[in-house]
């Protein structure tokens, strides 16, 4: 009998401790992003914490620092710690500037987040695609694989279990007037900086290649474990190809016709060539990029030449541009990028033009959303667009059937204390230039 009484006492004590923990959660609220859906509505993402039953939602208005006395849209009541939520706000006025904050109301205590201001105008160049139905616990990977034959994009997300380093993939089918997600795969092993791309040939056939990348495990003496495996997928089914011989470092990739180039982001900044017409030769060494250590790269190719955007320069120095001429195995300096210096940008090419932008500013705590166009014929940069989505670093980008798609990634912004913080984003856009 004493054992039963003791057991019930322990159970009651545990229940009381859990109740106290729930009721004593600190009241906190964050505004993660405000993203346009169209010319009259936005999507607001936030995170709320407090006791179970506390109300949370969004306030907005035409003046800075809106409160509950302005427009108020509750989302619900807290039922778990640090609850993430999305609120759609409609019937806004096109062209009007609005201010948004999230809030938590627990009894008489009210906490507001920092604010985001936004003009409700979606430029005609941008089309918002459907949002993937996935938990905000999944972290987007900067990888989008375009399949022009099926008109689909496959995107990849890291699972919440960061130690397992697993990923899931979602596929979206895109038409002129529709877009829908057709399914999400089961978790699979994942590598960071994994390379996955098609080589397309003159006869219209193509081949999928993938490999390299690395895992990060801080428990190991050497936390960075790089893979050298390189695989060709059917058709024609080459299987495993000669291993990559480069340094243990991430790579920047550019490719055209039947060849692919891998540039070390570290080591000696060595360039490696894989020629699909001569796979038995494996990777062939080419001229190293003439840059100093500490530089990161973005890459694209135009007219059978590779272009490298050299980031990571000290504050006050420009972002540099290099052109690789494969016929001479030679790097040539081109006009510096004329936008603000940055890191973690994205780059791609479409037709005879290259594009670069977004990223994280150097010298100040801010994310950037400008997009610039590069014309090799004139060696000039021109600003062409502002990204309307929620992210600014780590985005994925793909060009499919002449159309540009970019999205996901992270929003880099200053916290209330002035430190840089990152929040994952899940919106995908089509850019029609």
Here the tokens at position 58 are 């969004």
**Are 241 and 282 contacting, i.e. CB atoms less than 8 angstroms apart?**
yes
Do 28-119 and 126-431 agree at the fold level?
Answer: no
**Are 339 and 370 contacting, i.e. CB atoms less than 8 angstroms apart?**
yes
The architecture of the domain spanning 28-119 is Sandwich (2.60)
Q: What is the pLDDT of residue 58?
A: 98
Name residue 373's beta-bridge partners.
355, 382
Query: What mean pLDDT comes out for the span 216-227?
Result: 88
Q: What is the pLDDT of residue 304?
A: 95
Q: Could you tell me the pLDDT band of residue 20, with boundaries at 50, 70 and 90?
A: very low
pLDDT digits (tens, 9 = 90+) for 333-358: 999 999 999 989 999 999 999 999 99
Q: What is the pLDDT of residue 206?
A: 80
Report whether pLDDT(21) > 70: no
Here the tokens at position 167 are 């990923």
Calculated CA dihedral for residues 86, 408, 165, 220, nearest 10 degrees: -110
Question: Which strand (E) or helix (H) includes residue 22?
Answer: helix 2-23
Task: Tell me the DSSP string of 124-174.
Answer: TTEEEPPPP---TTSEEEEEEEEETTTTEEEEEEE-S-TTTTEEEEEEEEE
Residue 107 backbone class (left: φ over 0; alpha: ψ -120 to 50; beta: rest): left
Report whether pLDDT(3) > 80: no
Distance separating alpha carbons of residues 234 and 205, to the nearest angstrom: 11
Report whether pLDDT(293) > 80: no
- Specify the range with the lowest mean pLDDT, choosing from 43-47, 81-85, 414-418: 414-418
Distance separating alpha carbons of residues 322 and 326, to the nearest angstrom: 13
**Are 40 and 94 contacting, i.e. CB atoms less than 8 angstroms apart?**
yes
Q: What is the pLDDT of residue 245?
A: 95
Q: What is the pLDDT of residue 163?
A: 61
Residue 2 backbone class (left: φ over 0; alpha: ψ -120 to 50; beta: rest): alpha
**Are 290 and 331 contacting, i.e. CB atoms less than 8 angstroms apart?**
yes
Query: What mean pLDDT comes out for the span 103-129?
Result: 93
pLDDT digits (tens, 9 = 90+) for 154-172: 999 888 765 667 788 889 9
Q: Could you tell me the pLDDT band of residue 17, with boundaries at 50, 70 and 90?
A: very low
Q: Could you tell me the pLDDT band of residue 59, with boundaries at 50, 70 and 90?
A: very high
Looking at CATH, the fold of the domain delimited by 126-431 is given as Neuraminidase (2.120.10)
Report whether pLDDT(235) > 90: no
Distance separating alpha carbons of residues 227 and 224, to the nearest angstrom: 10
**Are 61 and 72 contacting, i.e. CB atoms less than 8 angstroms apart?**
no
Calculated CA dihedral for residues 348, 350, 353, 354, nearest 10 degrees: 0
Distance separating alpha carbons of residues 236 and 201, to the nearest angstrom: 13
Q: 335-368 in b/e burial notation, b at 16+ Cβ within 10 A?
A: eebebbbbbbbbbbbbeebbbbbbbbbbeeeebb
The structural domains of the chain, with segments of one domain joined by +, span 28-119, 126-431
pTM equals 0.86
Query: What mean pLDDT comes out for the span 179-187?
Result: 81
Report whether pLDDT(14) > 50: no
CA atoms lying within 13 Å on the CB side of residue 274:
24
Task: Tell me the DSSP string of 322-391.
Answer: EEEETTTTEEEE-PPP-S--EES-EEEEETTEEEEE--EESSSS-B--EEEEEETTTTEEEEEEE--SS-
Residue matched to tokens 């610039």: 372
Report whether pLDDT(207) > 50: yes
- End-to-end CA distance of the chain, in Å? 79
Please give the share of the chain, as a percent, with pLDDT higher than 70.
Answer: 90
Query: What mean pLDDT comes out for the span 131-140?
Result: 82
Q: What is the pLDDT of residue 19?
A: 46
Q: Which residue has the higher pLDDT, 292 or 174?
A: 174
Helix-strand-coil percent breakdown of the chain, rounded to 5?
5, 50, 45
Q: Which residue has the higher pLDDT, 144 or 279?
A: 144
Residue matched to tokens 């060696």: 379
């Amino acid at each position: 009998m004493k054992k039963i009484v003791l057991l019930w006492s322990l159970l009651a004590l545990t229940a009381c401790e859990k109740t106290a923990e729930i009721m004593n959660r600190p009241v906190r609220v964050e505004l993660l992003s405000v993203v346009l859906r169209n010319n009259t509505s936005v999507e607001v993402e936030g995170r709320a914490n407090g006791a179970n039953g506390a109300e949370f939602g969004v306030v907005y208005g035409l003046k800075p620092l809106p409160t509950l006395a302005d427009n108020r849209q509750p989302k619900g009541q807290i039922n778990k710690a640090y609850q993430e939520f999305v609120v759609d706000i409609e019937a806004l006025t096109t062209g009007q500037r609005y201010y948004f904050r999230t809030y938590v109301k627990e009894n008489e205590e009210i906490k507001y987040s920092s604010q985001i201001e936004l003009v409700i105008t979606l430029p005609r160049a941008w089309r918002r695609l459907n949002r993937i139905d996935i938990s905000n616990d999944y972290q987007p990977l900067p990888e989008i694989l375009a399949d022009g034959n099926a008109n689909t994009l496959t995107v990849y997300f890291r699972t919440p279990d960061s130690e397992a380093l697993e990923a899931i993939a979602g596929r979206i089918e895109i038409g002129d007037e529709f877009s829908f997600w057709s399914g999400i795969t089961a978790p699979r092993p994942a590598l960071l900086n994994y390379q996955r791309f098609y080589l397309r040939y003159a006869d219209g056939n193509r081949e999928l290649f993938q490999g390299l990348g690395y895992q990060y495990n801080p428990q190991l003496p050497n936390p960075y474990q790089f893979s050298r495996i390189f695989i060709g997928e059917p058709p024609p089914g080459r299987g495993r190809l000669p291993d990559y011989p480069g340094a243990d470092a991430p790579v920047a990739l550019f490719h055209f016709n039947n060849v692919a180039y891998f540039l070390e982001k570290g080591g000696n900044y060595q360039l490696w060539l894989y020629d699909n017409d001569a796979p038995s030769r494996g990777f062939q060494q080419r001229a190293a990029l003439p840059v100093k250590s500490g530089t990161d790269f973005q890459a694209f190719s135009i007219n059978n030449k590779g272009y490298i955007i050299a980031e990571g320069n000290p504050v006050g120095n420009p972002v540099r541009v290099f052109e690789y001429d494969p016929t001479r195995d030679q790097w040539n300096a081109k006009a510096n990028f004329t936008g603000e210096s940055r890191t973690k940008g994205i780059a791609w090419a479409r037709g005879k033009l290259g594009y670069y932008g977004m990223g994280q500013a150097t010298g100040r705590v801010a994310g950037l959303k400008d997009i610039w166009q590069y014309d090799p014929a004139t060696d000039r940069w021109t600003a062409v667009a502002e990204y309307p989505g929620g992210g600014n670093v780590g985005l994925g980008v793909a060009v499919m059937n002449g159309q540009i798609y970019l999205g996901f990634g992270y929003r880099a912004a200053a916290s209330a204390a002035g430190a840089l913080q990152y929040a994952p984003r899940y919106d995908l856009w089509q850019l029609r230039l």
